[in-house]
Amino acid sequence: MAACDAGGSADAVDALVVIPDAAPDPDATAADPDATAADPDAAPDAAPDAAPDAAPAPDAAPPSAPPLDPGLFDCTAAGPPERVSPTPVACLTDPACRLPQVAGHRGCGGQLGVIAPEDSLAAYRAAIALGVDYVETDPRPTADGVLVNMHDDTVDRTTWGTGAVDQMTLAEIRALDLRTDRFAGDFACERVPTLVEILQTCGGRAMVLIDANKTDRVDLLVGAIQEADALDWAVFDTSDLAKIDAALALEPGLHIMPRPDTLEDLNAALDHFAPRVPEIVEIPADRVAELAPVALARGARLFTDVFGADVVAGQLGLTDRYLAYYDQGAAILQTDRPDLILGALRAAGRR
């Protein structure tokens, strides 16, 4: 399809938000709340001229009123909601599409999320109901070789159990209750889902980003996509080009998303796959202004994490930083607060 320009403009918010007595966030760097590390899932985003933060954000407290009716996605829901995103389906995998789009981190938000428990099926149903375009996953293999969706290498933080994911069987992990007490809604039925279950839930509703950085079992990742018949609704996402090559050898029709960190890495990744242009290219948020002109000139579409902007928007209600990333050339923002980005886009007449 033809390229779609987002239009509009905004000024970045250069705000410093210090959160006293905050527990360390496993996805945050202490030095800079807006600095993206080599693993973009291990650090918040970076905005223009961001100042260093004294402490990373703790798990967010839920708002007084939930941003979305829990009955649309919790255990009382009849099933997955219908797709409500206005983004044309063809745009989701078209590198030429420049419409502003939103990706839900760990479904509908990680530790800054306020809608549903991270990486649960409820989180993916919530993202669909909210109108999110892409949803991120965190697949890891169990001891018996089943890919489950768990960001950490242990179950300790997000369930009421303890243990390493790769040392537990699927049955042992499924027996655990999730930690859901800070969210409005009924999540008693929720258990740690498999990657296949997520792909089946999201197929035809939201594009699934399969983070391949947490396992070397490329065969299991590709097999899950094939088992779920989700080739059209999945993106193989990793910083390791060799893993992408291995995945394409197993399934040449895969959508792909490399993660270069520098200009040199960007050009190397685009050269590596040429003449094909990857469906999405993820870059650090503090490199968007630098790398966007080169990436766009080469036909690539950019994705970046905006967790630092989530802190500013969540605490101060300032959402201009989101719009600034789009204006700099990013087409897809991954966020813990998809409700706030979607609201900002609608308010600006861009969604």
Residue range 1-12: average pLDDT?
37
Q: pLDDT exceeding 90 applies to what percent of the chain?
A: 81
CATH of the domain at 283: 3.20.20.190
- Whether 136 is in a domain gets the answer yes
- Whether 156 is in a domain gets the answer yes
- The pLDDT tens digits of the residues spanning 268-295 come to 999 999 999 999 999 999 999 999 999 9
Give whole-number Cα distances, 43 to 114, 156, 285, in Å.
19, 20, 10
Instruction: Provide the token pair at 336.
Output: 């813990």
Maximal CA-CA distance, the chain: 51
**DSSP 8-state assignment for residue 164:** B
Tally of structural domains, the chain: 1
> pLDDT at position 118, please?
98
- Whether 190 is in a domain gets the answer yes
- Whether 63 is in a domain gets the answer no
The three-class DSSP label of residue 129 is helix
Q: pLDDT exceeding 70 applies to what percent of the chain?
A: 82
The domain of 197 spans 70-347
pLDDT at 18 over 70: no
Q: Hunting for tokens 């109901």 — which residue is that?
A: 129
Phi–psi pair at 51, nearest 5 degrees: -95, 155
- Whether 315 is in a domain gets the answer yes
- Whether 4 is in a domain gets the answer no
Q: What is the DSSP string of 242-257?
A: HHHHHHHHH-TT-EEE
- Whether 79 is in a domain gets the answer yes
Least confident among 7-11, 60-64, 132-136, 165-169:
7-11
> pLDDT at position 65, please?
81
- Whether 47 is in a domain gets the answer no
Q: What is the DSSP string of 167-185?
A: GS-HHHHHTSPB--TTSSS
